[in-house]
A and B are shown apart, each in its own frame.
Chain A
Amino acid sequence: MSDARSRIFARIASGRGQALPSPEAIAAERAGLVPDASATQPTFTEQDTLARFEAMATSERLTATVAHIASLEDVPAAVAAYLAAKGLPAEAAIAPVLAELDWSGVNASTAITPNQPVAVTLAEGGVAETGSLIFRSGPETPMLHNFLGLHHVAVVRKDGIGRYLESVFGPDAPALPRIMSLVTGTSGTADIEAVNIRGAHGPRYLHILMVAE
């Protein structure tokens, strides 16, 4: 325990001028800090969860595109269709978690390069409130795949899309991975004259494949 640490803690305690309440008392107060999360959540009663997710993700600001597919098995074909529509060669870096699929129509590899044109990854879920995709790091889902591609094709199961941000941390949610990223649209910057521009560092294009099953 460093001297700096003990001095910082001592100043905090002396600044308070009274003893720290018991952990139980602090916990009780902490439990009441957000009496009702819904009071802080934007209402979108007119939209169901999936419609809101899609509307947000494809909004003028987030600029993602969405395609619907029936099952994970349809991912390679949907990726091929996207590449064809964009006039891109049939090549992509894919997350290891998707390697089991039949990629016969696309030259797919789990390796990724710094200037990767296209990367395909699997999101754990999404958030309707913000139009965000949830990515969790892991051996099968390396985080860089979500950031290095100029085009990012993200696969998400519809039943993984929650209504509000709180759903990401719900009681059933797994422990936090090394990194969890909420990706909301494409990489953007407003650093020059506050003009919104896409593709600052991360992907310029985000194509979301929403899987029905």
Chain B
Amino acid sequence: MSTALRSPANFKRDAAEAVTKPSLKIALDRTTGLLQRRRVDVLKAYPEFEATREVAKNIKDHTLAHLDHYLAEFEKNATAAGAVVHWAETPEQACKIVIDLCRQADAKSVTRVKSMLGEEIGLPKALAAAGIERVETDLAEHIIQLADEPPSHIVIPAMHKTREEVADLFAHHHKEPKIDGEVGTLVESARGELRPKYVAADVGISGANFLIASTGTVVTVTNEGNAELTTELPGMHIVTAGIEKVVPEPQHALVLLRLLARSALGTEFTQYTSFFTGPRREDETTGPEAMHIVLVDNGRTQMLASEMRPMLRCIRCAACINHCPVYGAIGGHPYGSTYPGPMGSVLTPALQSLEVAKDLPHACTLNGRCQEVCPVKIPLPDLIRSLRDDTWRRNLVPKPAKLAVQAWAWVAVRPSLYRLVSGLANYALRLWAGPRGMIAKLPLAGGWTQGRDFPRPTGPTFMTQYKRRQGR
């Protein structure tokens, strides 16, 4: 699936295709299963989790309620530390700012640390269009760059790839590939391939996990150590971040950090947690001479003013994705967006449009597991229901489905008619089934019976039998 064809508008088609890929299923099962078990284990040793979730939610809600105040505070302090803060309303503006900065630095090659905001604004494409070589340093991003595929997960972007598929890619693309069936050897191969590229890069681009208002600091977390190598070696460090990433003080980032690694990977803490405050200082001989921070809106201010505001609490841990049965069946690509799974089904309509993403809120069983595991208590099922309301109101639901629900509701408020209709349906089903207990093919319910049988009603309706028993 190439980047160009990706759109949430194709969700139904792509999802139906995805469930037929056995290697995808293997990769998803191996990965999400492991992440779920690890999360359970790490939380056993952290009984403070529930209390911390509440604190985290309050921190984010407070910041969002005063977002302009904290963005201004962040801008003032980051500027005082020597960074330059830029503002972008749209992906196009954000990319233009980054490309202009790269040109200003006369950049031939940029290294990049995985950033979902960067994916969201289409930065990889923009760099390619500007003729600037892009080197993805996160291992997973490196894999999907070689495969020319978009990420399928926000924490583990190559989640859809088995080790066998990665080995094939490395064999093809690495200068000195190392492959022996072990995951460790594949990692070694990537280390050897990427190390010279860090040194050669002119600009390093990162995202931000948090922005700290009181100090003007950008916080990144990685397990690989690629953020520091990416940003320390080139002369310019560019940060792209969504405006919702700001928190008031370091202590607030710490609370969120405690939740992030546990929720994302089932570990207590990420290996490398770095706090960047401004560019190279006068007494230093290393580090980037310039630091630019591009703060991006892209629909966030509209979300802030809508019922979708709680979604802006999201710290991108992907726990909701890892626990979503729909994601577990189809992977990330059919969502046609940077953000898959439950969080994506809420974000994508806001970031792109509900028209193009109308299927996403409906592609959910409302099982509630996402909300249960969310470290900042985002009521994802409620937000998804609310988006379904919008699709209904704005006539984005297929007409036959809408008519069916309306007709059924019209009948359901007329009990006598309802008894008649349900009695007839019950009778027809029994007639259709004949003596068999299960129905293998059912008119008007082909969706159900293409993969499952449908039970035959065991007798007349409850209400019919109940009246009979009452002697009426």
> Which A positions have Cβ atoms within 8 angstroms of B?
2, 4-5, 7-9, 11-17, 20-21, 23, 26, 29-30, 33-35, 37, 39-43, 56, 61-62, 114-115, 129-132, 137-139, 142-144, 146-148, 165-166, 168-169, 176-195, 197-203
CB pair B66 A193 closer than 8 Å = no
CB pair A169 B251 closer than 8 Å = yes
CA distance A12 to B257 in the complex (A): 26
CA distance A20 to B268 in the complex (A): 37
CB pair B285 A139 closer than 8 Å = yes
Query: Which residue of B has the minimal Cβ distance to A206?
Result: B271
Partner of B158, one of A137, A144, A192: A192
The interface size bin for chain B is 35 or more
CB pair A147 B228 closer than 8 Å = yes
CB pair B233 A200 closer than 8 Å = no
CB neighbours (8 Å) of B30 from chain A are 193-194
Per-position 1/0 for B264-290, Cβ under 8 A of A: 010111111111111111011111000
Q: How far is the CB of B206 from chain A (nearest CB, A)?
A: 12
CA distance A4 to B48 in the complex (A): 41
Partner of B199, one of A11, A114, A137: A114
Is B51 part of the binding interface, using a Cβ–Cβ cutoff of 8 Å? yes
Query: Which residue of A has the minimal Cβ distance to B265?
Result: A190
CB neighbours (8 Å) of B35 from chain A are 194
Partner of A139, one of B248, B284, B304: B284
Q: Which 3 A-B residue pairs are closest in the complex by CB-CB distance?
A: A202-B225, A15-B305, A11-B301
Q: How far is the CB of A46 from chain B (nearest CB, A)?
A: 12
CB pair B229 A200 closer than 8 Å = no
Partner of B304, one of A15, A131, A197: A15
CB neighbours (8 Å) of B279 from chain A are 178
CB neighbours (8 Å) of B281 from chain A are 177-178
Per-position 1/0 for B216-239, Cβ under 8 A of A: 010000011110110011000000
CB neighbours (8 Å) of A34 from chain B are 55, 59, 251-252, 255
CB pair B226 A179 closer than 8 Å = no
CB neighbours (8 Å) of B55 from chain A are 33-35, 39-40
Partner of B272, one of A21, A29, A181, A197: A181
A8-B183 contact in complex given A144-B233, A184-B272, A194-B34, C-beta closer than 8 Å: no
CA distance A178 to B276 in the complex (A): 6
CB neighbours (8 Å) of A194 from chain B are 30-31, 34-35, 156, 159, 265
CB pair B284 A191 closer than 8 Å = no
CA distance A51 to B268 in the complex (A): 17
CB pair B187 A184 closer than 8 Å = no
A-B contact pairs, 17 of them (CB 8 A): A8-B297, A16-B65, A34-B55, A42-B268, A62-B271, A144-B229, A147-B225, A177-B277, A177-B281, A181-B275, A189-B224, A190-B156, A191-B143, A195-B163, A199-B188, A200-B187, A201-B225
CB pair A183 B27 closer than 8 Å = no
A200-B225 contact in complex given A21-B66, A184-B273, A194-B35, C-beta closer than 8 Å: yes
CA distance A2 to B85 in the complex (A): 10
Per-position 1/0 for B6-41, Cβ under 8 A of A: 000000000000000000000100110011000000
CA distance A35 to B255 in the complex (A): 12
Query: Which residue of B has the minimal Cβ distance to A177?
Result: B277
CB neighbours (8 Å) of A144 from chain B are 228-229, 232-233, 286
CB neighbours (8 Å) of B157 from chain A are 191
Is B198 part of the binding interface, using a Cβ–Cβ cutoff of 8 Å? yes
CB pair A40 B51 closer than 8 Å = yes
Per-position 1/0 for B77-104, Cβ under 8 A of A: 0000000001111000100000000000
Is B447 part of the binding interface, using a Cβ–Cβ cutoff of 8 Å? no
CB pair B269 A132 closer than 8 Å = yes
CB neighbours (8 Å) of A181 from chain B are 228, 272-275
CB pair B287 A189 closer than 8 Å = no
CB pair A165 B285 closer than 8 Å = no
CB pair B187 A4 closer than 8 Å = no
Is B62 part of the binding interface, using a Cβ–Cβ cutoff of 8 Å? yes
CB neighbours (8 Å) of B224 from chain A are 187-189, 200-202
Of the candidate stretches B67-75, B411-419, B453-461, the one touching chain A is B67-75
Query: Which residue of A has the minimal Cβ distance to B51?
Result: A39
CB pair A166 B274 closer than 8 Å = no
Query: Which residue of B has the minimal Cβ distance to A144?
Result: B232
CB neighbours (8 Å) of A179 from chain B are 228, 232, 274-277, 287
CB neighbours (8 Å) of A178 from chain B are 276-281, 284, 287
CB pair A193 B31 closer than 8 Å = yes
Is B52 part of the binding interface, using a Cβ–Cβ cutoff of 8 Å? yes
CB pair A201 B255 closer than 8 Å = no
Is B139 part of the binding interface, using a Cβ–Cβ cutoff of 8 Å? yes
CA distance A182 to B285 in the complex (A): 21
CB pair A202 B286 closer than 8 Å = no
Is B46 part of the binding interface, using a Cβ–Cβ cutoff of 8 Å? yes
A14-B305 contact in complex given A7-B89, A188-B224, A200-B225, C-beta closer than 8 Å: yes
CB pair B251 A166 closer than 8 Å = yes
Q: How far is the CB of A168 from chain B (nearest CB, A)?
A: 8
